Amino acid sequence: MSSPATSSDREKVVSKLPGWLRQHLKVRAAQHGVEIQTAVEQGIDAWLALASTPATVDTAGADSFSTFLPEGQWERFRDVAADRRVSLIQGLAQSVQLWLDTTPAPDIERPAVTRRIVVCNQKGGVGKTAIAAGVGEALAEDPGRLHPVRVAKALSAALRASDQIADSDPLDVESLPGLGLRVLLVDFDPQCHLTNQLGATPLPMNGDSLTNHMAGDPKGDLRDLLVSIDESTFGGRLHLLPACHDAFLLDVRLSAVRAREAALERALLPLESDYDVILVDCPPSLGLSMDAAAYYGRRREGERPGQSGALIVVQAEDSSADAYDLLTNQIEDLRGDLALDLDYLGIVVNLYDGRRGYIATSSLQGWVDIKDPRVVGLISDLKEQKEAVRMKQPLLSYAPSSQQAVGMRALAREIS
């Protein structure tokens, strides 16, 4: 059946589709950035042009499905379906399957140079680890599934109305395919927070570690230390290089290493061909280890600006501003001393709660006013992240529809 034509000369058509086929249609249409009605229209056109009826599609359990088609198309479809002696439900299912078969999922767009994101701030307790993990998880999510993502306009609106940020507007959330990138999370903090939060075990002091490789004293292949994170959710695309408490001695050991600024790069370079993105969760420090992390995040020859660099995590309070100044001064010194092109990927205001009043809202406005680097993410202080840490699970598998997860996906896309 159909209803009168819409203002765009389309008519509403109501039929049935099996749930599995409808889900495939939604995901594939989103992957190609087309509307479902356009995909169905193209599928029916292709079905009408066939010289013979294609293979039967299993329509068991089909339920109501409605869309808008060009005026007259459904009538032509009904006539051809009658000639081919197939039901309208079967003909529609064949049309949708034909569109899926002729419109394969697009290839994942992989960077020419492995992106290196250094998540940093010398102040502890701002949530660098949560941001590093959340961004990495969002980058690695399944491209064959739809995930709720806060669209860019929501962040812009939130920043303009900072006293209302704690509220979530469902109209500003879209379902988008996962990015499907191969991601390595590097726990570069001797406190091992990232390792513990993701349910892994810190490396033993008497074994091999990233510290040993940076100090020129490896005891094996760094690949042997990698841990795959929640393969059921991330499909083997998300790995972790666990930390070791020996990193407390890293600055001392680096002091005896030649070209120590490049020590992290020398250690991780053999792994880069396996990954699209490497995120480094930095310690709350301004020592030699931070110099090495900043150097690793510099822009390389042939790399576009903004692909790699420093992602700075802050809170909407005064002490974060003081720590930010210290960090950016160190980065600027490195830029000058070593002639580095080190890009700022932006500022993430984490653990935000507008209900805390003037301190929070005015501090947020202060971050927004900086402009360069600009605020690229705003993550609320809600219970799901704390629960995920307690459960030692990734946030995006523990609470994939939470406001924090939605914000992490938006952040990952903002810096992509």
Range list of H helices, 150-230: 152-160, 193-197, 210-214
Written as one string, the DSSP assignment of 210-247 is HHHHHTT---S-GGGG-EE--HHHHTT-EEEE--BGGG
Q: Dihedral of CA 135/136/139/140: which sign? A: negative
Written as one string, the DSSP assignment of 132-145 is HHHHHHHHHS-TTS
Count CB-CB contacts under 10 A for residue 202.
18
Residues with Cβ within 8 Å of 227's Cβ and at least 6 positions away in sequence, in order, are: 198, 200, 239, 240, 241, 242
- The Cα–Cα gap between 47 and 35 comes to 19
Structure tokens at 19: 């749930």
Residue by residue, pLDDT tens for the chain (416 residues) are 444 444 468 999 999 999 999 999 999 999 999 999 999 999 999 999 999 989 999 999 999 999 999 999 999 999 999 999 999 999 999 999 999 999 999 999 999 999 999 999 888 889 999 999 999 999 999 999 999 998 755 555 555 555 444 444 444 889 999 999 999 999 999 999 999 999 999 999 999 999 999 999 999 999 999 999 999 999 999 999 999 999 999 989 998 899 999 999 999 999 999 999 999 999 988 889 999 999 999 999 999 999 999 999 999 887 788 888 888 888 888 888 888 899 999 999 999 988 878 878 888 888 998 988 999 999 999 999 999 999 999 999 999 999 999 999 999 999 98
Superfamily of 115-414 according to CATH: P-loop containing nucleotide triphosphate hydrolases (3.40.50.300)
In the chain, CATH 3.40.50.300 sits at: 115-414
- The Cα–Cα gap between 145 and 202 comes to 32
Task: Report pLDDT for 168.
Answer: 44
* Segment 204-208 long-range contacts (CB within 8 Å, at least 24 positions apart): 204/244, 205/244, 205/245, 205/246, 207/244
- The Cα–Cα gap between 183 and 221 comes to 19
Q: Are 381 and 352 in contact (CB under 8 A)?
A: yes
- pTM of structure: 0.90
Cis upstream peptide for 373 (omega within 30°): yes
Task: Report pLDDT for 406.
Answer: 96
- The Cα–Cα gap between 220 and 315 comes to 39
Task: Report pLDDT for 167.
Answer: 43
Alpha carbons within 13 A on the beta-carbon side of 206? 0
DSSP lists the bridge partners of residue 149 as 174
- The Cα–Cα gap between 187 and 281 comes to 5
In the chain, CATH 1.10.1220 sits at: 2-102
DSSP symbol at 402? S
Q: Are 191 and 283 in contact (CB under 8 A)?
A: yes
| Class (C level, CATH) for 2-102 | mainly alpha
